[in-house]
Amino acid sequence: MPHTGRRAELLMPAGSLDKLKTAVLYGADAVYLGTPDLSLRSKSEFTLEEVVEGIEFAHRYGKRVYLTLNLFSHNKDIDKLPDYVETVRKVKPDGLIVADPGVFMFVKQQAPELELHVSTQANVCSWQSVQFWQNQGASLCVLGREVSFEELTEIREKCPDIKLEAFVHGAMCMTYSGRCLLSNFMAERGANQGACANSCRWKYKVHMQLKDGTTKELKLTEENLELFDFLLEEEMRPGDFMPIEEDDRGSYILNSKDLCIMPKLDDYLRIGVDSLKVEGRGKSVYYVALIARAYRMAIDDWYKDPDNWKADDYMAELLTVPSRGYTYAFHEGRLTNHSHGYENTGTLADWEYAGMVMSVEEDAFLIEAKNRLAAGDVLEFVPPLTASSGGRETILLRIYEFERVKSGKVVDVINPGHETLFRVPFSAFDREDLATLQERLPVNTIIRKERSLTQEQWDRLKLDTETRLIESGKGSDEAYAERRDNLQQSQAEADNSRRPRTPRLGIEGCCGKGCNGCLVFWHDPAYTKARTLLAKKKQGEMFDRDMREDLLPQDAHVEEVI
């Protein structure tokens, strides 16, 4: 199908006012938000006053704001609606996201000027359902995550006169687009009232019940492991035994990996999906900034040159943000076992949130640390896309000391939670153009750094990589099994020692980044040829892969990252 001419918007989550501002600065076309009582996010940090401020901020940048009113209402909620709708119409959002037909009817009657969007909670999965909501007066339908790309294409063809929105990134729910009672049952927290306890991501164990009614944990040992197979049999499929895999660590049989459509994003842009939605109102500022940045660049680059567009560089950006591993989910029509994470439920990446530029003085940046920082860490400054440089060019800085702003004390470690504000003079960026540095790294610039991981965590990332390759048709079941076994072995050994991907203090070899202060790189005669070339490059600009063997000695230990 040729490109329809519709230009997609990037819709980012905003769980707080800070996150809203970050989303706008890092590339969102629109944001969605709500107050805790009526928005299906009981932990939302917005007051109504902050909603007003957020809308005004977004509109100054020419961005849209959609408010969420997407709970399934009970009788107790109805009395709140008049005041809420009256407040909403005063702040003039660009759309109101609604799931409940009764709420939809109420808003349509009381505030007909408001544009209404049908929430994913309404489980719209067919072109007929889209047409129904269009006839009720909806301007946009958010399609359920269960819609395949083939179905999405047909819906677009049959419903050309209404805007369509599809999820492209974020956590997946193990039930039908959030219609879950597991949280209610396990924790008395209503998932459809904005208080989901994420019970599907808890660890579960198999127990056996004896004939006398007592229940005991079934301990699996080398002696009895081969004696048992655990099987499920569904009533209407007699003889069709489905295995349950569990070891002594338990099992995460309901734990979905996170949705990531980036490798297929060109399909969505080509057929004319109007809004590309990212999940995550409960996620961090770091998540909001870097996910928005990656999708913004990917979308803009596709529209500039769709024939030569590739997802690799943007995926590399997404991998710096912790996730449960990525999956295409229902894109191909049905899930596979690779869409689930059976080994653990945590989010993970080999990068982490290092800090944020809080203010800019005449000769220095004031930075707030968000994680532990130590001498030798390489900080990567990732500026907003609204920066003068366009935000695509990051800047690396290896740092060896931290000057606390409050006390003036110089230390070699900064821990979060205690005097986290430190000063970095412009002079530390000795290989950058200092005249433009302030404009390129404005206030609210996000800073990341590589994270030290345990062997178990490294093995988890390798397994995640293999599952992505399999979903893209490039991996193998044999490699997957090997990496799964490696992960299970490292989990059993439980070694908590951590190691970074690349050297911190510049004495273990060259990581290929050539950033300031790397002792081995700048003083070892073995790197003379490489230094000559790198002197012509910007700080942090790495060697090309095909130049590595010619420039660096055999024992340089340069990581694959270059």
Identify the pLDDT of residue 3.
58
> Any residues with CB less than 8 A from the CB of 274 and at least 6 apart, and which?
6, 8, 9, 140, 163, 164, 165
Q: Does 294 score more than 90 pLDDT?
A: yes
Same domain, 33 and 145: yes
Element (H, E) at 253: none
Residue 182 lies in a domain: yes
A 10 A CB-CB count for 215 gives 8
Distance CA 433, CA 435 (A): 5
Same domain, 162 and 26: yes
Same domain, 144 and 185: no
pTM: 0.83
Identify the pLDDT of residue 558.
45
Let me know: does 127 contact 155? Beta carbons within 8 Å. yes
Answer with the one of 450, 468, 492 that is the final residue of a domain: 450
User: Minimum mean pLDDT among 59-68, 326-335, 348-357, 423-432: which range?
Assistant: 326-335
**170: which strand partners?**
259
Let me know: does 548 contact 558? Beta carbons within 8 Å. yes
Distance CA 51, CA 34 (A): 7
pLDDT 10s digits, 218-239: 666 666 656 666 665 555 656 6
User: Minimum mean pLDDT among 102-106, 201-205, 371-375: which range?
Assistant: 201-205
Distance CA 218, CA 179 (A): 33
Residue with more model confidence, 79 or 242: 79
A 10 A CB-CB count for 54 gives 26
Same domain, 235 and 262: no
Q: Does 46 score more than 90 pLDDT?
A: no
Same domain, 13 and 120: yes
Same domain, 556 and 533: yes
pLDDT 10s digits, 525-539: 777 877 777 777 665
Identify the pLDDT of residue 334.
72
Identify the pLDDT of residue 552.
56
Both tokens of 272, joined, read 């004319």
> Any residues with CB less than 8 A from the CB of 497 and at least 6 apart, and which?
454, 455
Residue 295 lies in a domain: yes
Same domain, 118 and 145: yes
Same domain, 359 and 434: yes
- CATH code (residue 421): 2.40.30.10
- Across the range 80-87, mean pLDDT stands at 85
Same domain, 71 and 215: no
Same domain, 363 and 225: no
Residue with tokens 């057929």: 271
Answer with the one of 191, 216, 243 that is the final residue of a domain: 243
Identify the pLDDT of residue 503.
64
State the average pLDDT for the chain. 83
Dihedral angle, C-alpha 88, 91, 93, 97, nearest 10 ° = -20
Residue 183 lies in a domain: yes
Residue 476 lies in a domain: no
Let me know: does 140 contact 163? Beta carbons within 8 Å. yes
Residue 158 lies in a domain: yes
- CATH code (residue 28): 3.20.20.70
Report the domain count for the chain.
Answer: 4
Owning domain of residue 137: 9-172+256-318
pLDDT 10s digits, 136-195: 999 999 999 889 999 999 999 999 999 999 999 998 776 545 556 565 555 656 555 556
Residue 239 lies in a domain: yes
Both tokens of 396, joined, read 């690396």
Same domain, 270 and 372: no
Identify the pLDDT of residue 560.
38
Same domain, 437 and 518: no
Residue 331 lies in a domain: no
pLDDT 10s digits, 307-334: 999 999 999 999 999 999 999 988 888 7
Identify the pLDDT of residue 515.
56
Residue 460 lies in a domain: no
